[in-house]
Structure 1
Amino acid sequence: MGAERIAVVTSRNGADEDADLPLVLAALRAAGLSAEAVAWDADRPGWDGFDLAVIRSTWDYADRLQEFLAWADATARVTRLWNPAPLVRWNSDKRYLLELAGRGVPVVPTRFVEPGGGYAAEDFDGPHGVVVKPAVSSGARDTARYEPGRRADAERHARMLTDQGRTAMVQPYLPLVAEGERALVFFGGAFSHAIRKQPVLTEAGLIDNFRVPHPGAAPYRPSEAELRTARAALAAVPTPGDLLFARVDLALDEAREPVLMELELIEPNLFLSLNPQGLERLAGAVTAALATGRATA
C-alpha cells in the first residue's frame, strides 16, 4: 500500500506567497505521507484521489465566498476536509463573534450594520475611536480605524460597505493593541505556540489593502489568562472536536484582560517558520486525523 495522499490546499496567489507551504509539504513527507499543494479552484484536481485535504493558504476565499463554500461542500463529499466544511462556512462570516459572546467568551464588543439596515449614530462612538471592517474579509482588507470625533468618516466607511451589499462591523479601538496582538496556534485542540505582532492599523482613517499583514511577528509566551480565553473560544465552537488547526487572535482591553479579536479556522497563517516544533505538531495532527479516519471508515 502506498503512502496516503494529502492535498495541502492553497490558491493561485497563496502558492507563491505562503512561506509556510514548502515547510508543511516537507514535514508531511518526512512523516511518510504523500503531500502535494493543490489550488482549491484548480481544473480537475481529482479530490476523491486524496485521503485528506487540509486547507492552508486559500487566501482569495473572501472575494469568492459562495464559490469557495460550494467547493468546500463538494470536496467534503468525496474526501475528508479539514477543517470541516460546516466550520468553514460558520467561520467565514465574523458574525460568529456574536455567537461566541453569547456563550460567555470575552469578545471585543461588536456591532453589525446590515445592507439596508439601520444603525444608531452612537454605534460609531468610542473613547479611543472605532474600527470599521467587512464581516467577510481576510488580511485586514477594506479595514480602517477612526479617531474620536471622526464619526462621519466611520459611518461613511460602513455605508460604502453596505452599498456594496456587504455587512459592516464596528468595534471600539483598543489602545493596548499598541502593545501587540497575540496569535495562539492550536493543533488537534492542543496549544502549540504563539506569536505577538505589531498593530496593523497604524494610520487612522486609512484603508490600505497593501499593508504587511503580520508586522514584526515574533515568538511569544502567552499568559495563563490568554490561554484560558483562547481555550474558552475554542470550546464554544460548534463541534470543537473537529478542529485540526486553529488560530486565536487576542488583544488586551483597558483592564488588561485578554479579549477575542478573531477566531481563524479557515486559512490562517500559522507562523510555522518561527516554530519548528509547530511543524512537527501539525504533521502529528494530520497523522492522527488519518488514523481516526481509518478507525471509523
Structure 2
Amino acid sequence: MTDPDYDNFCRLARERSGLVLTPAKAYLVSGRLEPVARAEKLAGVPELLARLRSGAPEALIQRCIDAMATHESYFFRDGTPFEQLTTSVLPTLIAARQNTRSLRIWCAACSSGQEPYSIAMILQEMGARLAGWKIEIIATDMSEPVLTKARSGIYNEFEVKRGLSPERLARWFKPQGTGWQVSPVLQQMVQFRSHNLLKGTTGMGVLDVIFCRNVLIYFDVDHKRQILEQLHRAMANDGSLFLGSAETVMGLSQTIEPVTGMRGLYRRSQVGVARVA
C-alpha cells in the first residue's frame, strides 16, 4: 500500500471514529481490511485503500471504519465493575431515587451486547427492591453489524461460557439451534442505538450510571478530553462512571474524579457539581 493511501485512511479513521492509526499499525489495518477487500472482489487491501482515497461510496467507507474497531466483549467482563454496581452503586441510587423510582443507565460502545445484558441480569436479580421502578438501559455502538447481533440476543457456546455461571445461563437463556437466546425479559430492558462517541451526548438525557469501558484507550489525548467532558455533562450529580482498568482521568479531566477504593469507578468532582449548581 502506498503512503498517501494509508495516510488518507488513517485520517478518515481518526475523523470518524477517533481511532489513532500509526505506520506501525499497518499490519493491523491490512489484516482487518482484507475481508472487506475480498467482499468487494478487489485484488487486495492496497486497491481498497486506493479506492477509498479516490472517492468510495459512503457505505464502503463506513464498513472499513467498522472493520478497524475492536469488538472484544463478554458477559460480566472483569467482574469488579459489576460487583461494585451490585454492592455499592445501585443500593446508593435506590436509596436516593425513592421519590422518582427511576434509573437510567448507558452502556457506551456496547459492542455485541454482553455488557448491557449483564447489567439487565443484575437489575432483574434485585427483585422486589426495584419492583415498579422505571428502568432504562441504553446501549450504543457506532457499528451496525455488532448492534444487529446485540439486538438478536443470540450467542454461541463459546460466548455464553465467557463470564456466565451455569446458574445464570440456565435462568436467563434458552437453547437456540447451536447457540443460546437471551431471555425476552432481558431483551425488553435494553434499547440498542447507533451512536458515535465523537458526536457528544445530545439526546441521551441525564444518566445515573455510565459504562464507557475499554474505549478511551483507542483515542488520542484531545479526543479523550472531549469525551470525558461530554460524559461529565450527561451524568447526574450523584451519578457514576465506569471506565476500563487501564483507563484514567488523570491529566484529562478536572470535573471527574476516582472513587476512593473503587478501581475503575468515577464520579463528578466537586468542581463539576458546582458548575451544574
Same fold (TM over 0.5): no
Decide which structure has greater helix share: 2
Which structure's relative contact order is higher, taking Cα pairs within 8 Å and 6+ residues apart? 1
Question: Which structure has more strand as a fraction of its residues?
Answer: 1
